[in-house]
Amino acid sequence: MKIKIGVLLLALLSGCDDSAPVQKGFAGLGDSAVAFTPVVPGRPFSFPADHGVHEGFRIEWWYVTANLKDAQGRDFGVQWTLFRSALNAAPQASGWRNQTIWLGHAAVTSASVHHAAERYARGGVGQAGVQAAPFEAWIDDWQFSTQASAAEPLANLQLKARDRRFSYALRLTSNRPLVLQGEQGFSQKSEQGQASYYYSQPFFQARGELEIDGQRYTVSGPAWLDREWSSQPLTANQTGWDWFSLHLDNGEQLMLYRMRHKNGAPYLTGTWIDVQGRAQTLHAGEISLVPLDTANVSGRSMPVRWAIKIPGKQLDVITQSLNPNAWMDLRIPYWEGPVRLSGNQGGTGYLEMTGY
């Protein structure tokens, strides 16, 4: 759930931050008259096609986080994201005329180190892309690809990324169904109706190798996939975003986010996923999300400790960042890193904070 990043990417491409939906297109492009496909409720999902690219939609991402441990019990976090940003809504041509920008983000985090990297590519020539079957998402040598049968492409996947100071290669497996977020995959982002299509696989088990600054670790732990696409960026009023994906020790999963506004209360929502993978939308009244302590990260004050209460699910926990300096110092900068839970439930998860 990285809608803010997607929006920032759009801003980066269009040069106007916090813009209302940019429909004017670029440089007097004739195709700009073609409108992007709107996000409406009640769209049926169809797999494996929906693992692939959704042409006609402006932004889309494939996003994986993993909370890993090595044999000595040391904690690590891994992030892998591929964004697609279409500059126009027309069917994309092959070759350099293609008007898609692909952006990859990858990071590793330990208690003492956080390394982040990014890759940019244009669509149409093969440097980056996503194909639905057999499923493969890639940018340069970063790769997220299926190793399983065509019927269950997400049962077994390979996840790879590499940069100067880190690399990882993980095997992701799962035998649970996908979780459609919001109303059957229609996920509302504001009272005004901004929305996206959104599904997840929160039940991955990851295992593999991780290398940080020349040190190799054999690691395993839970991982989470988010898939989301939309055409409608956020409203100008929305300033930032705090988002949680949590693996509870009892096997339940929790997704939670808070959209902050320039004026007025934040928009708060979430999904409770039980052990069988059944999802239940949580509304603002059912959630209490409070920042506790802030830390100075890259010259900003960031809330790195949070209290989460969901009385209806008897959840009362505090999240603590594994490494408060999990700043993604990239062209679009933000905070993203693994967290640990304490309170009446243990667990791990990921926190993403933007707009600070």
Partner 1 sequence: MIFRQALKALLSHWRQHPVQFFSVLTGLWLATSLLTGVQALNSQARDSYARASQLIGGEPQASLTAPGGGTFPQQWFVDLRRQGWPVSPVLQARVLLKGHEDQRLQLMGIDPVSLPPGAALAGQAREMTEVVEFFTEPGRTWVAPQTLQALGLMEGDQPRTIDGRPLPPLHVQVDMAPGVMLMDIGFAQAVLGLPDQLSRLLLPATFSAVLPEAFNDRLQFKRADEENNLSRLTESFHLNLDALGVLSFVVGLFIVHAAIGLALEQRRSLLRTLRACGVSARVLVASLAIELGGLALLGGIAGVLSGYWLASLLLPDVAASLRGLYGAEVAGHLNLSIAWWLSGVGLSLLGALLAGADSLLRAARLPLLALANPQAWHQAHGRWLRRQRWVATVAALIGASALVWGDSLASGFVLMTALLLGAALALPVLLSSVLTWLLRRSRSVLGQWFIADCRQQLPALSLALMALLLALAANIGAGSMTAGFRQTFSNWLEQRLTAELYISPQTPAQAEELYVWLKQQPTISAVVPLWQVSIPLRGWPTDVHGIIDHPHYRQHWPLLESDGDKPWEQLASADTLMLSEQLARRLNVSIGDQLTLSTPQGPWALRIVGIYADYGNPKGHVLVNADHLLAHWPQLTPNRFNLRIEPPAIPALLTALQGRFSLDDSRIVDQARLKGWSTQVFERTFAATAALNSLTLAVAGVALFISLLTQSQSRLGQLAPLWALGVTRRQLMLLNLGQTWLLALLTLVLALPLGIALAWCLDAVINVQAFGWRLPLRVFPLQLAQLLALAMLATLLASAWPLYALYRAQPADLLRTFAHED
State which of residues 138, 243, 244, 356 lies at the interface with partner 1 (CB under 8 A): 138
Cβ closest to partner 1, residue 62 vs residue 306: 62
Please say which residue, 2 or 119, places its beta carbon nearer to partner 1.
119
Q: Rounded distance, CA 13 to CA 250, Å?
A: 43
For partner 1, the binding residue among 18, 21, 90, 120 (CB under 8 A) is 120
CB of 98 to partner 1, least distance (A): 9
Q: Which residues contact 46 (CB under 8 A, 6 or more apart)?
A: none
Q: Segment 145-164, which members bind partner 1 (CB under 8 A)?
A: 162
Q: Is 140 in the site for partner 1 (CB under 8 A)?
A: yes
Residues 166-225 that bind partner 1 (CB under 8 A): none
Structure tokens given for 81? 């994201």
According to CB under 8 A, which one of 1, 86, 121, 279 is a site residue for partner 1?
121
User: Are 195 and 188 a contacting pair, CB within 8 Å?
Assistant: yes
- Residue span binding partner 1 (CB under 8 A) among the ranges 7-15, 180-188, 258-266, 285-293: 7-15
Size of the site for partner 1 (CB under 8 A): 27
Contact track, partner 1, 78-107, x by CB under 8 A: ---------x-------xxx-x-x------
DSSP for 6-70, please give it: HHHHHHHHHS-TT-S---S-STT-GGGGSPPPPP-TTPPP-TTGGGS--TT-SEEEEEEEEEEEE
Give whichever of 8 and 212 is closer to partner 1, judged by the CB atom.
8
Q: Least CB distance from residue 123 to partner 1, whole Å?
A: 10
Distances (CA, A) of 50 to 6, 109, 130, 329: 18, 30, 11, 31
Tell me if 20 contacts partner 1 by CB under 8 A: no
Q: What is the 3-state secondary structure (H, E, C) of 256-288?
A: EEEEEECCCCCEEEEEEECCCCCEEEECHHHCE
- What is the smallest separation between the CB atom of 54 and partner 1, expressed in angstroms? 21
299 lies in the site for partner 1, by CB under 8 A:
no
At 291, list the tokens: 């920042």
Beta bridge partners of 115: 108
Q: Which is nearer to partner 1, 105 or 258 (CB)?
A: 105
Among residues 129, 257, 95, 272, which one has the least CA distance to residue 190? 257
Indicate whether 29 belongs to the interface with partner 1 (CB under 8 A).
yes
Cα separations in angstroms, 247 against 35, 222, 307, 341, 346: 39, 7, 16, 9, 9
Q: Is 13 a residue that touches partner 1 (CB under 8 A)?
A: yes
> Which among 6-14, 148-156, 238-246, 267-275 is the span making contact with partner 1, rule CB under 8 A?
6-14
- Contact pick of 220, 281, 330, 333 for partner 1 (by CB under 8 A): 330
Q: How far apart are CA 3 and CA 229, in angstroms?
A: 9
Rg of the chain in Å (alpha carbons): 19
Strand partners, 266: none
Q: In angstroms, give the least distance from the CB of 94 to partner 1.
A: 11
Name the minimum Å distance from CB 89 to partner 1. Answer: 14
Cβ proximity to partner 1: between 26 and 186 the closer is 26
- The binding site for partner 1 (CB under 8 A) comprises 12-15, 26-27, 29-30, 87, 95-97, 99, 101, 118, 120-122, 125-127, 138, 140-141, 162, 330-331
